[in-house]
Amino acid sequence: MWEASDYNSQGWLRLPPLFWVVLVLQARTWVLLVLAGASRQQGETLLALFYPDRTAFWLGLLAGIPAALAFLLSGRRHRFVRLWRGWRWVLIVAQLALSLWQLWMLAQGEAETVTALALLIVDLLALWWLLVSHRLRACFEQDGTFT
């Protein structure tokens, strides 16, 4: 099914590029925090622009923890095989929570409509991809041997 070039030198199926995009999408508050920290002068302004409500900022950090851990786990999936196998479902639940949160913020009028609607659409597409991608499922289910 997969070609030899689809595997890395340890025999693990390479993660699809879209996987990294989904992780950045899920960890978007963490990315914003790093950007704000890197630009010390405008950091506070940047955070206030995207998260005028501090509660939403903390919830965004909380929602991004599974993606941040997936970044760390992906390089060591050969050491944490059982944890890695279940992590796809953790990411799916986190993406579902992000989508529901976006929908709730949109329904409450707490977010800028165009931006919130765009994020909701992207979140739903990411959720769909996490659920249906055969390549991604294989990356989480395989055990590090050529199959």
pLDDT score, position 7: 82
Q: Which residue has the tokens 């509660």?
A: 55
Residue 146 has pLDDT above 60, yes or no: no
The whole-angstrom separation of Cα 139 and Cα 47 is 35
Q: Which residue has the tokens 């630009």?
A: 39
Cβ neighbours of 19 (radius 10 Å)? 21
**Mean pLDDT to the nearest integer, 10-20:** 90
Residue 147 has pLDDT above 60, yes or no: no
Torsion angle of C-alpha atoms 15, 23, 120, 130, degrees rounded to 10? 30
Read off the pLDDT band of 65 (50, 70, 90): very high
In terms of pTM, does the model score above 0.85?
Answer: yes
